Amino acid sequence: MQGDIANAKAAYQDYLTLWKDADADPELAPPQIYNLLGFLTMTGEDPLMLWARSRLTQEGLVEPLSLRLAHGYRRATGDTASFDKEWAQAMRLVLATFREQQRKHGAGPYHFQRQSEVPTDTQALGGYGNPARPVGLIYSMFRPSDDACQYSLFIPANQFAVVSLRQLAEMATEILREVELATECRVLASEVESAVVKYGRVKEATGGEVWAYEVDGYGNQLFMDDANIPGLLSLPYFGCCSLGDAVYQQTRRHVLSDTNPYFFRGSAAEGIGGPHVGLDMIWPMSLITRALTSNDDAEIAQCLFWIKRTQAETGFIHEAFQKDNSAKFTRSWFAWGNSLLGEFIVKLSQERPVLLKGS
């Protein structure tokens, strides 16, 4: 379910740059589409609700379930009618789940565990994940890739949550006229942001700092990056920082180097993969994300070249390809990657059309 929702979200995200006004068919309004998923407004001990909310990552709650997409849709169209009482109720549930998953008062009701030969398909300790100290960060069971978190405090999702909570506060104030909801969102955003700064940075031997991928609040930190987003490379794309931010730039240098165990160089291309499909497999999504977070024309052009060269004459973006042989790939049709590419091409056509002519 999480992957399906992410794919649907990405498809709609493409259209935000093309939406001209609020006269678009209301049936296509993303907030209404996602309300129809149903489990957002389920209450009590409904088995589907418990499964969905335990299996989804923070990314699953923040992005597909309307926050980023709804904010972008509203800004693109000016439409406010779609943000009804049902949507407001759903947003209160997201906020409550974030609070609950700070785990200040115990592990909470949401857990996920199943039998699998792949360790990253399930979670440890009864499905609650490895121990982490409740320091104000929001816990995650799984990464955007659907792989289990090693440490339960996933830094990119917490940074993304800060941005989205502030966007929700804006909408609660301007559309819903709910001052209390807006205040709660801002308070939580500030708390999470402070915890991210305090616990989410890795100090280098040279004295610099980079963002960690995951931490546990006890002092253990994991540095890596995964092609799926949000991740460290994609932080500016989600509005978590500026492209020129010093900590981000230092993090970016490490992410796009051998310091990252899932960064692969080969004769076909170089890029980021992840544990989901194995070593030496580059995800085209990472090439698109790299280009989306660059101001360097040469770097963007190089990413375009790799993207075009590694589609194995299929005309579509794949999930991943082998670093030395792009004809060896997974998933001939990967909606999330293709949708992200569409967003990237539209952005280039508006900001750097000359690069498209050269490709």
- C-alpha 32/C-alpha 55 separation (Å) is 23
Q: Give the distance from CA 240 to its chain's centroid.
A: 11
Task: Evaluate whether 272 touches 283 at the Cβ level (below 8 Å).
Answer: yes
Provide the pLDDT confidence category of residue 21 given band limits of 50, 70 and 90: very low
Place of tokens 């004809």: 327
| pTM for this prediction | 0.90
Q: Give the pLDDT of residue 62.
A: 52
Q: Give the distance from CA 219 to its chain's centroid.
A: 24
Average confidence (pLDDT) over 164-172 = 94
Question: pLDDT tens for residues 184-217?
Answer: 999 999 999 999 999 999 998 888 899 999 999 9
Q: Which helix (H) or strand (E) holds 218?
A: none
- C-alpha 227/C-alpha 161 separation (Å) is 19
End-to-end CA distance of the chain: 36
Provide the pLDDT confidence category of residue 108 given band limits of 50, 70 and 90: confident
Q: Give the pLDDT of residue 4.
A: 53
- Reduced to 3 states, what is the DSSP secondary structure of residue 309? helix
Task: Evaluate whether 316 touches 336 at the Cβ level (below 8 Å).
Answer: no
Sign of CA dihedral 130, 133, 139, 145: negative
- C-alpha 351/C-alpha 281 separation (Å) is 31
Task: Evaluate whether 138 touches 58 at the Cβ level (below 8 Å).
Answer: yes
Q: Which residue has the higher pLDDT, 53 or 181?
A: 181
Q: Is the pLDDT of residue 137 over 90?
A: yes
- C-alpha 283/C-alpha 277 separation (Å) is 9
Q: Is the pLDDT of residue 242 over 70?
A: yes
- Domains of the chain plus CATH, in order, are 2-201 (1.50.10.10), 262-359 (no CATH)
Place of tokens 């949401």: 110
Average confidence (pLDDT) over 146-162 = 94
- Among the listed residues 21, 99, 327, the one whose alpha carbon sits nearest the alpha carbon of residue 91: 99
- C-alpha 46/C-alpha 53 separation (Å) is 11
Residue 120 in tokens: 């990253």
Question: pLDDT tens for residues 40-70?
Answer: 444 444 444 444 455 555 555 554 345 787 8
Q: Give the pLDDT of residue 40.
A: 47
